[in-house]
Amino acid sequence: MTPPLTAQDWLRLARRYYPPGVASHDPDYGDTTEIRSLQEAWREALAHPEPWSEFLQQLRGHFPTAQLMDATVPYQDACRRCCIHLGRAPVGASGTLTTLVACASVLAPVHLVYVNERSSRNGEAVGQVLHFEPPPALSREFTLLEEQFKRTLQTHPLPANLATLRVPDLSVGNVRLGHVTLRDALFTSAPDILP
């Protein structure tokens, strides 16, 4: 499958899976043709779990000391998602937990890698930062994930200028009409919520 090339192609693709002009709180949102297409894309993806399983298997070899979690939320998101927790959750303590997140869209052969940093003080969450560009300290891990995506899933990274492109007539998750980006539509509208 070849990914679309132009911004207009991508916008057109996103509109196949979310109903244009319909807010996600509309009672009919889940019954639209577009959401049915999203559901069908998920059914197809879930019927063929092997490539994703192999991808996870290979990550386990690359990150032997990390805690890996398949954070896929079918239908609510548009991607399979994996968390690579680089360290342990600071239970009842203070510190920062850095998590690499790898996402593979089920709508197009594209992937996304980002970093989530959760800070806690005495066990209470006090802050969270997302990095969609590789922080210098994690550039090696980003490169490794990029290569693994290409090798195992034959996906391409969604360029940053496209990821942040607005699709103003769509509502995805809890993101309102006018605020949705291609990243919301093709991957997840809740990148900050991890298991």
Q: Which residues bind another protein (CB under 8 A)?
A: 23-27, 29-30, 35, 38-39, 43, 56, 60, 67-76, 82, 85, 89, 91, 97, 125, 173-174, 176, 190, 193-195
Separation CA 40–CA 32 (nearest Å): 12
For another protein, give the closer residue by CB, 49 or 159.
49
Give the residue among 93, 81, 116 at the shortest CA–CA distance from 192: 116
Instruction: Give DSSP secondary structure letters for 41-87.
Output: HHHHHHT--HHHHHHHHHHHHH-TTSEEEE---TTTSSEEEEEEEES
Find the shortest distance in angstroms from Cβ 77 to another protein: 9
For another protein, give the closer residue by CB, 4 or 29.
29
Find the shortest distance in angstroms from Cβ 35 to another protein: 6
Find the shortest distance in angstroms from Cβ 23 to another protein: 7
Place of tokens 């809740």: 190
Find the shortest distance in angstroms from Cβ 78 to another protein: 10
For another protein, give the closer residue by CB, 153 or 162.
153
Give the residue among 115, 74, 71, 104 at the shortest CA–CA distance from 3: 104
For another protein, give the closer residue by CB, 13 or 46.
46
For another protein, give the closer residue by CB, 162 or 167.
167
Find the shortest distance in angstroms from Cβ 145 to another protein: 15
Separation CA 102–CA 3 (nearest Å): 18
